[in-house]
Chain A
Amino acid sequence: AQKITQTQPGMFVQEKEAVTLDCTYDTSDPSYGLFWYKQPSSGEMIFLIYQGSYDQQNATEGRYSLNFQKARKSANLVISASQLGDSAMYFCAMREGRAGYSTLTFGKGTMLLVSP
């Protein structure tokens, strides 16, 4: 089974509107972290936001927030007030376990297009 599932291959949103990108995950480890990255057409991977499995509050970073629903194993990214520069590929990723330097498993990504 896939550890990270992103069911939306592509999403369209108008400038200044909010958009939610879906991510569900699968793990039996009680300790894990969830990450969102943005990849513009230039190819670099930009870290956006992090949610730990024991965090009580949903993470927020500027216009990005993470809607963490632990029982449903979902970690959706919400982008408020979309901008043209938000057009990019977005990846959800997970780190399992408490090991400090364990790697990340990535989902297949969602392409977001923001129109004027």
Chain B
Amino acid sequence: SAVISQKPSRDICQRGTSLTIQCQVDSQVTMMFWYRQQPGQSLTLIATANQGSEATYESGFVIDKFPISRPNLTFSTLTVSNMSPEDSSIYLCSVADRPNSPLHFGNGTRLTVT
């Protein structure tokens, strides 16, 4: 299965700033997914990122707040913009390395906004 490296693993940021999270996969994958896990909650899909096209955002998430890049088949970034304390969460990158396979996750980025 794909090996996913996610950076940073954690960060503490001030409100109003932005943080870019990187996700690197050791093999080419068609689809990458970004999830958010708020404290004590389940995972919620933010968006799906295809290489070469705009990301598809779920209801409640917008590109201006969570811009995503997918420049090639092994890399993606998620930016959390103009952060507020409500953005404090774990952000997880995931991939499916073949159709109908389980999603494999990076180790997550634990973000705290003060």
Chain A interfacial positions (CB closer than 8 Å to B):
33, 35, 37, 42-45, 47, 50, 91, 95, 98, 100-101, 103-104, 106-109
Which 5 pairs from chain A and chain B are nearest by CB?
A100-B99, A45-B105, A101-B31, A47-B102, A43-B108
Chain B interfacial positions (CB closer than 8 Å to A):
1, 30-31, 33, 41-45, 48, 90, 92, 94, 96, 98-100, 102-108, 110
A43 to B108, CA, bound (A): 7
B30/A108 in contact, CB under 8 A: no
Interface of A is mostly: loop
A100/B100 in contact, CB under 8 A: yes
A103/B48 in contact, CB under 8 A: yes
* Given A101-B30, A108-B42; 13 other pairs, CB 8 A cutoff: A33-B100, A42-B107, A45-B43, A45-B103, A47-B102, A47-B104, A91-B42, A100-B96, A100-B100, A104-B45, A104-B103, A106-B42, A107-B42
Give every chain B residue within 8 A of A33 (Cβ-Cβ).
Answer: 100
CB contact under 8 A between A103 and B33, given known A43-B110, A45-B92, A108-B42: yes
- Which residue of B is nearest A49, CB measured? B102
- Which residue of A is nearest B50, CB measured? A101
- Which residue of A is nearest B58, CB measured? A103
- Which residue of A is nearest B110, CB measured? A43
Q: List 15 A-B contacts (CB under 8 A).
A: A35-B103, A37-B105, A43-B108, A43-B110, A44-B108, A45-B43, A45-B92, A47-B102, A47-B104, A50-B102, A98-B100, A100-B98, A103-B45, A104-B45, A106-B42
